[in-house]
Structure 1
């Protein structure tokens, strides 16, 4: 037996327990980034609505005068729109549909895999399976998804702040 616990049932059980704890943490981080992205999308949508409202007759953006003001306004609007799209991508479900059927026989953690299994076959698989490799694969996939979501939210917030600054600058310059 090696020091890494290979062949050691107690070490294997501890590793599986740790993997489930990490799984729960990554799931929680993903839920939090989805909530933050929903809030960001709300702010970005509200900013878009305010800009549209201020573009009506007699309002500040009704007919922005000068090329610079129009350029600032339109650039800000595009940046806010990009921010909203990025935030929407964060909350969009990541189902990985194309690979699920082929991955299903070797996986039993993700609901997308489970829907392709039969109950008796799954029960047998769970009886004989070594859960650590399955959990490890799932943790890697979940972590990549969580990283992507966090990065998209980060870019959304930067794009929103930049766009809002341009719109405010256009309003001040109008």
Structure 2
């Protein structure tokens, strides 16, 4: 016997919420590391003790490249954790969607109760699953870019020390 589609959809919804939260956690961790390295880099460069010997040429280029890559990585981390509230991607109108919190907030409690009693939630839930999957995918890709750029920035900064 096939599983209840509504129960399966809710399990998928829970898994997507978990995956989205994990992407946010990874992005927050990446942003913390990247911001810390950039702040330390700024302090060290400002003191003149560590990067004071970096003159013009390859070492200076690598220093700026590393800092720029870390900054770009931090920007992708910020983009990953930024809330996604674009209405046009939600599909249903506010009166038809009782799953997306942006639409749900406009309901009157009595109308919501009636909708929950009378309407099949599966169409709204499956639409929400598709939207949540797209959001989770985008978040994970941004985290991937953030970490890749941070790694490239770290290599450039390490090369700065080797060249300088």
TM-score range, shorter chain: over 0.9
Residue in 2 that maps onto 1:49 = 39
Which runs of structure 2 are paired with 1:102-113 in the superposition (5 Å)?
103-113=93-103
Deviations 1:102-136 (A, max 9, x none): 72111111211111111111111111111111100
Distance of 1:15 and 1:167 partners within structure 2: 52
Distance of 1:99 and 1:154 partners within structure 2: 23
Contact 1:33/1:150 (8 A) holds in 2: yes
Which runs of structure 2 are paired with 1:63-78 in the superposition (5 Å)?
63-78=53-68
- Output the aligned Cα RMSD: 1.9
Structure 2 residue 164 is the aligned partner of structure 1 residue 164: no
In structure 2, runs of 5+ residues without a counterpart are: none
* Structure 1 residue 56: Cα displacement: 2.5
Residue 27 of structure 1, aligned match among 17, 20, 26 = 17
Give the secondary structure class of the aligned counterpart of 1:116: coil
Distance of 1:56 and 1:172 partners within structure 2: 20
Residue in 2 that maps onto 1:93 = 83
* Structure 1 residue 42: Cα displacement: 0.6
Q: How many residues align?
A: 164
Contact 1:55/1:63 (8 A) holds in 2: no
Residue in 2 that maps onto 1:14 = 4
Contact 2:89/2:131 (8 A) holds in 1: no
Contact 1:60/1:171 (8 A) holds in 2: no
Deviations 1:74-122 (A, max 9, x none): 011110000001001111111224677x721111112111111111111
Distance of 2:89 and 2:127 partners within structure 1: 14
Residue in 1 that maps onto 2:120 = 130
In structure 1, runs of 5+ residues without a counterpart are: 1-9
Task: Point out the more displaced range, 17-26 or 65-74.
Answer: 65-74
Give the secondary structure class of the aligned counterpart of 1:56: helix
**Larger Rg belongs to:** 1
TM-score under structure 2 normalisation?
0.92
Residue in 1 that maps onto 2:52 = 62
Distance of 2:97 and 2:150 partners within structure 1: 39
